[in-house]
């Protein structure tokens, strides 16, 4: 691993991964390609561990010419592909960019890598970052998803991610492209855009705005602290077997409503107000096709690569709440980003019961 192309490295997980990789790999140079959509920001890339080994390029993963040029000019040997449209609610209100970026963009990257690397992919790696949502929705007593669970995506977001996973796997089997894939559960932690559940709840609470819980709040997600995800991807890059998929998850199963209450109680302690933040919890109209439960079986990555999450949900949540409290400048810059308030209006005004 020498010249690493990270796509989507100005987003939440990508920017955390850039920081992580600069720390653990002292000799890599990262070429960070990001279109800077509403979800990406250079604010996420301030104070990197070593700026001299990081080059930012603003551009679209669907731009074949640009990607071809990057591969050739910088002798890219490793791709870590995060760039995506990532928010389920946005995919419901406007699916087109999801098909464009997640399907066509992934195809463009795979095809460019195939042409640049030729039939001999030795010393090369294309790592595709995906999600547990491709497996669909579990009932309360169903066993957790394994790597061989059938794909059954149920939102435009997860369907587009499933399509991209299939393409990545097809490039391994058909062309021998040195592909690995990870499917991960819900991430949380520093630099997450405040459209997702945890940062949205923290920021709404601090502004004493309603905390909008969809439906009955009894949906279950498996939550993973973002740094643990970065470590898992790194181990797969180093030691994962080509053509293989690895499930990654945090091993917890809270109801959404309990998670929101936990955020409130951490805030009650760290930033006490006259009334408890729990009073702001408001049940709102559910997400259409809302997946009820996800759970990940991480036996394979644990046995093969020795990976286990280092953070439990209690310590990870506390660290996250503190991070948002301590980074008011980041919060203020991100909240002013184009379209954020419009999104809140678009997604939540129609949800009032």
214 counts as catalytic: no
Q: What is the Rg, in whole angstroms, of the alpha carbon atoms belonging to the chain?
A: 20
**According to the binding rule CB under 6 A, does residue 193 interact with ligand NAD?**
yes
Task: Based on the shown chain and the rule CB under 6 A, indicate whether residue 13 belongs to the binding site for ligand DAU.
Answer: no
Of 13, 66, 15, 82, nearest to 43 by C-alpha is: 15
Cβ neighbours of residue 131 closer than 8 Å, sequence gap 6 or more: 158, 161, 183, 184, 185
In order of 85, 110, 132, 243, 271, the CA distances from 56 in angstroms are: 19, 21, 29, 29, 36
| Residue 88 sits in the site that holds ligand DAU (CB under 6 A) | yes
How big is the CA angle at 309 (ends 254 and 151), to the nearest 5 degrees? 65
Q: Name the active-site residue from 20, 60, 77, 157.
A: 157
Is 216 a known active-site residue?
A: no
For residues 164 and 158, what is the distance between their CA atoms, to the nearest angstrom? 10
The interface region with ligand NAD, picked from 6-14, 18-26, 269-277, 333-341 by CB under 6 A, is 6-14
Q: How many residues interact with ligand DAU (rule CB under 6 A)? A: 19
Verify binding: residue 37, ligand DAU, rule CB under 6 A.
no
Among 5, 45, 213, 301, binds ligand DAU (CB under 6 A): 213
Cβ nearer to ligand NAD, comparing 186 with 320:
186
Give the residue nearest to ligand DAU (CB): 131
Cβ proximity to ligand DAU: between 212 and 240 the closer is 212
Q: Can 157 be counted among the known catalytic residues?
A: yes
The binder of ligand DAU chosen from 219, 245, 252, 320 (CB under 6 A): 219
Q: With respect to ligand DAU, which residue has the nearer C-beta, 69 or 292?
A: 292
Q: How many CB atoms lie within 10 A of CB 183?
A: 25
Contact region for ligand NAD (CB under 6 A) — 69-77, 117-125, 185-193, 329-337? 185-193
Q: Other C-beta atoms within 10 Å of 31: how many?
A: 20
**Taking CB under 6 A as the criterion, which residues in 228-287 touch ligand NAD?**
none
- Is 196 a binding residue for ligand DAU by CB under 6 A? The answer is yes
| Whole-angstrom distance, CA of residue 132 vs CA of residue 153 | 9
Residues 350 and 34: their CA atoms lie apart, in Å, by 31
Instruction: Please answer whether residues 211 and 281 qualify as being in contact, where contact means their C-beta atoms are separated by less than 8 angstroms.
Output: yes
Q: Which is nearer to ligand DAU, 37 or 186 (CB)?
A: 186
- Identify which range of 31-39, 41-49, 101-109, 211-219 contacts ligand DAU by CB under 6 A: 211-219
Q: What is the DSSP letter of 55?
A: E
307 three-state secondary structure: coil
Binding site for ligand DAU (CB under 6 A): 86-88, 131-133, 185-186, 196-197, 200, 212-214, 219, 221, 256, 287, 294
Q: Which residues are catalytic?
A: 132-133, 157
């Amino acid at each position: 691993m020498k010249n690493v192309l990270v796509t989507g490295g100005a987003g939440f997980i990508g920017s955390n991964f850039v920081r992580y990789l600069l720390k653990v790999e002292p000799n890599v140079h990262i070429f960070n390609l990001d279109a800077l959509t509403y979800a990406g920001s250079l604010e996420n890339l301030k104070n990197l561990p070593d700026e001299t080994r990081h080059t930012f390029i603003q551009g679209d993963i669907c731009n074949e010419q640009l990607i071809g040029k990057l591969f050739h000019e910088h002798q890219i040997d490793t791709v870590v592909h995060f760039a995506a449209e990532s928010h389920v609610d946005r995919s419901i209100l406007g699916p087109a960019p999801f098909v464009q970026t997640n399907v066509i963009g992934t195809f463009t990257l795979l095809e460019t890598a195939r042409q640049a690397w030729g039939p001999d992919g030795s010393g090369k790696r294309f790592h595709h970052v995906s999600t547990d949502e491709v497996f669909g929705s579990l009932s309360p007593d169903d066993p957790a998803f394994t790597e061989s669970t059938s794909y059954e995506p149920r939102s435009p977001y997860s369907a587009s991610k499933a399509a991209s996973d299939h393409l990545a796997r097809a490039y391994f089997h058909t062309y021998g492209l040195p592909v690995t894939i990870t499917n991960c559960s819900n991430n949380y932690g520093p630099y997450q855009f405040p459209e997702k559940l945890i940062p949205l709840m923290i920021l709404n609470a601090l502004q004493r705005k309603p905390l909008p819980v969809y439906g009955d709040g009894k949906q279950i997600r498996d939550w993973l602290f973002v740094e643990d995800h970065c470590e898992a991807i790194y181990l797969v890059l180093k030691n994962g077997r080509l053509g293989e998929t690895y499930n990654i998850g945090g091993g917890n199963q809270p109801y959404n409503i309990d998670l929101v209450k936990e955020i409130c109680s951490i805030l009650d302690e760290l930033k006490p107000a006259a009334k408890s933040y729990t009073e702001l919890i408001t049940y709102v109209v559910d997400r259409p096709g809302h997946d009820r439960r996800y759970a990940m079986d991480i036996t394979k990555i644990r046995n093969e690569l020795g990976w286990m999450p280092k953070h439990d949900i209690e310590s990870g949540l506390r660290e996250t709440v503190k991070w948002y409290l301590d980074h008011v400048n980041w919060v203020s810059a991100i909240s002013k980003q184009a379209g954020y308030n419009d999104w809140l209006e678009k997604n939540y005004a129609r949800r009032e019961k």
